[in-house]
Copies of this chain bind each other. A is one copy, B any other.
Amino acid sequence: MCRWLVYAGSAIRPEELLYKVDHSLIDQSMHSKLGATTLNGDGFGMGWYDGPRPPGLFRGIGPAWGDRNLRELSEHLESPLFFAHIRASTGSPVQESNCHPFRYRDWLWMHNGEIHGFHQIKRELVLAIEPELFPHLEGSTDSELMFYLALSYGLRDDPIAGVARMVGHVERVAAAHDIRDPMQMTIATSDGEHVWVFRYSTQHQSRSLFYSRRIEALRELYPDNANFRRLSEQTRIIVSEPLGDLPGAWHEVPESACGLVDPGRDFLQDFHPEPV
């Protein structure tokens, strides 16, 4: 299992959310409160958009808490849209090609959760990847495979449908192998303009996912908090577990839901796998 964070809003330095807040993502790498494991020390990654071109990617195989390069980058980069992820391996090797976020052209993808019985059905899932996408698969995780399946099922044209069909496919293959409750996931994906997030598991007991309350509301609640004055009203943060400990700052994403992160057009809706 893993912890992850998406930031979208006015350009900031990632250190604000990775290091400077209470219960920051780096704190969570050592002592997660809500994760399936308290410890997320099996590699990390950051992906950031900084203009009209594919996002940058920085990934490492050591624990995030001790990585000096991550500390440096998070102080020297500025980005209006970035993904950060800390990994707890569920078995696949700790190597950069298994660290999130994964990237395909302009798209980023990261995941918390797992496909139960993955080794039994991996081959069949791999076969469903479009032949021209296949050579881009570099690692050995279920997470990266889910990304390429979703791309094969149309993620770029309709992200919610692409993910719904990917989940439908995984659940169908798992059922044929008598694997119960195969899917456990929270996912974030982006094309650099919008971010989509998903919370779903076959048995409807999904890993936690939260999004930040509107900044205006937080300013009213906490008129003295300097952080809220600095952030623009467009700011959105989505996290596996809350940063800080301010009552009222976070909403939980409902069970079996997905949403678009896009100020003014934000929405949350039910998420249903689509049979394929």
Residues of A within 8 A of B (CB): 30, 39, 41-42, 48, 50, 56-63, 65-66, 68-69, 72-73, 75-77, 89, 92-97, 119-120, 122-123, 126-127, 129, 131, 134-135, 137-140
Contact = CB atoms under 8 A, between A and B. Distances in A.
A82 to B, nearest CB: 11
A50 B135 CA distance: 37
A56 B63 CA distance: 20
Given A62-B62, A63-B41, A138 B69 contact: no
B76 A69 contact: no
Contacts of A139: 140
B56 A42 contact: no
Contacts of A57: 68, 72
A69 B63 contact: no
Contacts of A134: 122-123
Q: Which 8 A-B pairs have the closest CB atoms?
A: A56-B76, A95-B95, A119-B135, A123-B134, A66-B94, A56-B72, A41-B41, A93-B97
Contacts of A129: 123
Given A30-B39, A77-B77, A123-B135, 11 more contacts: A39-B39, A39-B41, A41-B41, A41-B63, A42-B63, A48-B76, A57-B68, A59-B69, A92-B138, A93-B96, A95-B97
A51 to B, nearest CB: 9
A96 B75 CA distance: 19
Nearest to A94: B66
A97 B93 CA distance: 8
A133 to B, nearest CB: 9
